[in-house]
Amino acid sequence: MKSAFPGIKRIAYEGPASKNPLAFKHYNPEEIVEGRTMREHLRFAVVYWHTFRGTGSDPFGAATMQRPWDDGTESLKNAKKRVRVAFEFIEKLGAPYYCWHDRDISPEGRNLAESNRNLDAIAKVLKEEQQRTGIKLLWGTANLFSHPRYAHGAATSCNAEVFAHACAQTKKALEVTHKLGGEGYTFWGGREGYQTLLNTDMKREQEHLAAFLRMAVEYKKKIGFRGQFYIEPKPKEPTKHQYDSDSAACLNFLREHGLLPHFKLNIETNHATLAGHTMQHELEVAGAAGALGSIDANTGDELLGWDTDQFPTNIYLTTYTMLSVLKYGGFKSGGVNFDAKVRRESFEPIDLFYAHIGGMDAFARGLKIAAAIRKDGRLDAFVKDRYASWDKGIGAKVESGKASFKSLEEYALKKGNPPKNHSGRQEFLENLINEFI
């Protein structure tokens, strides 16, 4: 097959002084940061859906993307060709991982059996390409939101027949993920929520969602799939409200249903901001619960209120993200997955390279800056010092469970004067961060 990206060679690290737009200025895969290579820290993944299936169409206009290798049909032949193109791209970019939904990689058939056969046929080609290139599957997932059958949801559908179909589709996607050596599997509840409460039995729907996830955990064990399960929070879009609305809601749901030991979270920036949070907030909520698994790296636009899935280029964003990731011990099974799409106006194939190179460099800078802030130690020392009253005396007593309202009343009465506080020094700390950016 002839090259889909002729004239583009493997993207190399050329350092910050390079003016070559097809080179990394900061992502040097072999460079050691905090004892690990950048490649090991960042574990970059390319998404199949936006990058190889995105057409650039929007509610106001038709497709714009120039993808000369793609004949635009849903044939198996086209799907197979696309796999070769995808691996040429990922290999040239030098990303070690990729991610897919079952229906991005292979066409939906006339019935489930045919869809499954299509998926097997494509999995065979994916496996060949994985072996040829050494590129690995970070996670797989089932698309339980595009087909009209999922209009009322999948695991939370009012229709038990649809629930059964969703379970069957997920079973197959899990098997294929396992066969391809996937390091994880993601559950994003695109339509697991409601448009109106007038027609919704929320309690019942949430119980069905738990039953679905319980069966997935059971089946994972049965087939010996050791990959990590992730829930990806998102508050809305396409539905008005999705049950996995943010990290805290997901953790609460998982705890309530005894599922927490089996899941971690896959946190996406644009989903965090749609929920009214920062990415850092979502990472900290997940991290504090020991459930920070992976990230879908992208960004929204401050002036647009929807999931624009832009490539991340903001160094503050990547710095704060990597500060949290490093704080919680770095990625184990997860990675930095670019769930991001080029703009409709960036329609040439080469734009896919510019977009990913920019995202990878932004994360490499975020990693290096975060590591420098940690090495400097002033930020950590400030936070530690801010809580110093808990390390001894009355604070230590409370933390060790040796205090009661009564003993604290005695203590406060004896002290008499109002407690003395110290400045939070937000501006001082913001200036400190800027020393490193």
Report the interface residues with ligand XUL, using CB under 6 A: 49, 101, 141, 186, 188, 232, 234, 268, 296, 307, 339
Residue 13 binds which one of Co ion, ligand XUL, none, with CB within 5 to 8 A depending on kind? none
Nearest approach in angstroms of CB 219 to Co ion is 23
Look at residues 209, 262, 264, 204 and name the one whose alpha carbon lies nearest to residue 232. 264
Q: Let me know if 101 is a catalytic residue.
A: yes
Q: Are 73 and 126 in contact (CB under 8 A)?
A: no
Partner whose binding site includes residue 247, from Co ion, ligand XUL, none (CB under 5 to 8 Å by kind): none
Task: State the DSSP string of 132-153.
Answer: HH--EEEEEE---SSSGGGTT-
d(CA 192, CA 244): 8
- Partner from ligand XUL, Co ion, none contacting 88, C-beta within 5 to 8 A by type: none
Closest distance to ligand XUL from the beta carbon of 189 (Å): 9
Size of the site for Co ion (CB under 5 A): 3
Nearer to ligand XUL, 28 or 321 (CB): 321
For residue 181, the SS3 value is: coil
> What's the min distance (Å) between Cβ of 28 and ligand XUL?
28
Give the DSSP H or E segment for 379.
helix 378-386
- 87 interface partner picked from Co ion, ligand XUL, none, CB below 5 to 8 A per type: none
**Helices 426-436 and 349-376, interaxial angle, to 10°?**
120
- CA dist 184 and 177 (Å) reads 8
Choose the catalytic residue: 41, 50, 104, 208.
104
CB atoms within 10 A of CB 290: 12
Q: Which does 103 bind (CB under 5 to 8 A by kind): Co ion, ligand XUL, none?
A: none
User: Residue 154 or 254: which CB sits closer to ligand XUL?
Assistant: 154
Is residue 391 among the annotated active site residues?
Answer: no
Residue 264, contacted partner among Co ion, ligand XUL, none, CB below 5-8 A by kind: none
Spatial CA neighbour of 414 closest among 425, 422, 406: 406
At position 31, the amino acid (one-letter code) is: E
Retrieve residue 33's tokens.
């940061």
Each residue of 85-105: b (16+ CB within 10 Å) or e?
A: bbbbbbebbbbbbbbbbbbbb
| Catalytic hit among 101, 208, 271, 277 | 101
Nearer to ligand XUL, 44 or 49 (CB): 49
Q: Which residue has the tokens 């299936």?
A: 53
Exposed (0-12), middle (13-18) or buried (19+): which is 17, by Cβ within 10 Å? exposed
CB of 366 to ligand XUL, least distance (A): 20
Looking at beta carbons only, is 101 or 165 nearer to ligand XUL? 101
| Cα Rg of the chain (Å, integer) | 24
Tell me the C-alpha distance between 324 and 337, whole Å: 16
Q: Which long-range contacts (CB under 8 A, 24 or more apart) does 413-416 make?
A: none
Residue positions counted in the chain: 437
Site for Co ion in 237-296 (CB under 5 A): 268, 296
- CB 409 → Co ion: shortest distance, Å? 50
Among 118, 339, 342, 360, indicate the residue that binds Co ion (CB under 5 A). 339
In the complex, the smallest distance separating the C-beta of residue 142 from ligand XUL, rounded to whole angstroms, is 8
Supply the minimum distance, in Å, between the C-beta of residue 408 and ligand XUL.
46
Query: Whose Cβ is closer to ligand XUL: residue 29's or residue 235's?
Result: 235
SS3 of residue 310 by DSSP: strand
CB of 232 to Co ion, least distance (A): 5
Nearer to ligand XUL, 162 or 370 (CB): 162
CA torsion, ordered 122, 123, 129, 130, to nearest 10 deg: 160
Q: Report what 234 binds from Co ion, ligand XUL, none; CB cut-off 5-8 Å by kind.
A: ligand XUL
Look at residue 116 and give the partner it binds from Co ion, ligand XUL, none, a contact being a CB closer than 5 to 8 Å depending on partner kind: none
Window contacting Co ion (CB under 5 A); options: 63-71, 202-210, 335-343, 358-366: 335-343
DSSP states of 65-103 as a string? ---TT--S---HHHHHHHHHHHHHHHHHHT-SEEEEEHH
The angle, 0 to 180 degrees and rounded to 10, between the axes of the packed helices 315-327 and 349-376 is 60
Verify binding: residue 205, Co ion, rule CB under 5 A.
no
Nearer to ligand XUL, 29 or 268 (CB): 268
Q: Tell me the C-alpha distance between 102 and 177, whole Å.
A: 9
Nearer to Co ion, 116 or 337 (CB): 337
Query: So which residues are the catalytic ones?
Result: 101, 104
| Residues in contact with Co ion by the rule CB under 5 A | 268, 296, 339
